[in-house]
Amino acid sequence: MAYDIEPQEVLPAIGEVLEGRYVLESCISRGGMGAVFRAFDQRSGGRVAIKFALPHVLDGAERTFREADILAEVSETPDSGIPSLLDFGVLGDSAYFVMELVTGDDLETYLSRHHRVAPKRAVEIAVSAAYTLANVHSKHIVHRDVKPANLVMTESGEVSLLDFGIACPFTPEGGEADVTGSPRYMSPEQIAGRAVDHRSDIWSLGVTLYELLVGAPPFNRPTLTGIMSAMLTDRIVPPSELVPEVSPELDEIVLRCLAMDPSHRYDDAMSLVADLLSLEHLSTQVDESPCDSGVMRIGAVVPAPVESAVAFVESTLRSNEGEPARVGADATLEEVGSKTTAFPLLSLTKEASVAA
């Protein structure tokens, strides 16, 4: 899909040549903070992708170079599932970087055509994405924007993870604390503006897997406050209740990813991979005991009790001190689409959320 560029946005024109080398051919994607162009590299004779910060983004050049640094780090592992960084530069007041061009359908586009994915294929996609996240997390980076639009199915059948625009380092104490991301895929701690770690990405991948299986995310409300309210009050409907082909064992995996308290989710992405891969053997044998690495096998996964989930989300949302934000919280998500967006911090009690 090609995107038209508004005249007032100071971005390069199609046909422009950067550094006497990269010929811009089309704008292939746009998010809340950046635009990605397809370009022809006259030196190598191949196609590349070039990402620019949008002009309205505060500290856009700094953010762009920071994303380039993170991309270089997480893509250095062979077969990382992440496009390689190739080059970077400055154009006027804007910065850009050049990366490997990934071709294929992103999952958002695929779902818009097919509504949902067969459980076996959904599991294969989740395994590929989880392997990629395991590599990212091993570098102590949390992506913070895992969603169908940022996962591309390549011609080889693998899944590539794109857009590290809001990725950040994390420590045992967590990472950056702000309300930036795509609300339907943000974890409770992220949507409340608390510091996040790798388990926030596991939540987001769980939401994505849920959507692949049933055709919609679990908290599909039109506003940010509506999503927060649903987190407090709504029961997550197991996928099998909506799609009978989904097994109870796969239900348990999805619900564990979607535990409100991060400590009740998978400890790491490879633990999730192990349980997803074990689904292939469900018809013959299920190992219900923890394996040597401490990974809990299918059958031993117990979702967190509803009471503790509500308590965690309540304490998370109450932790933002001060007056509740009054601007932007009720903007409909249709107004921002699937773009990555910065929202105001919210202070929300269970009672307020019910009334929202």
Residues known to be catalytic: 145
Query: Quick one: how far is CA 85 from the chain centroid?
Result: 20
In terms of Cβ atoms closer than 10 Å to its own Cβ (0-12, 13-18, 19+), residue 241 is exposed
Q: How many angstroms separate the Cα of 20 from the Cα of each of 17, 51, 188, 301? A: 6, 17, 46, 56
Amino acid making up residue 188: P
DSSP character at residue 99: E
Amino acid making up residue 143: H
- Measured in degrees and rounded to the nearest 5, phi and psi for residue 36 equal -115, 130
Q: Count how many Cα atoms sit within 13 Å of the Cα of residue 178 in the half-sphere of its side chain.
A: 11
Give per-residue burial for 64-75: e unless 16+ CB within 10 Å, then b: bbbbbebbebbb
Q: Tell me which residue of 124, 153, 283, 139 sits closest to 201, measured CA to CA.
A: 139
E strand spans, 54-147: 85-91, 94-100, 105-106, 141-142
Rounded to whole angstroms, the Cα distance separating 325 from 343 reads: 10
Q: Three-state SS for 271?
A: helix
- Phi-psi map region of 287: left, alpha, beta (phi>0 left; psi -120 to 50 alpha): beta
β-strand 151-153 against 159-161: which pairing, if any? antiparallel
Residue 291 sits at the vertex; the CA angle it makes with 285 and 294, to the nearest 5 degrees, is: 145
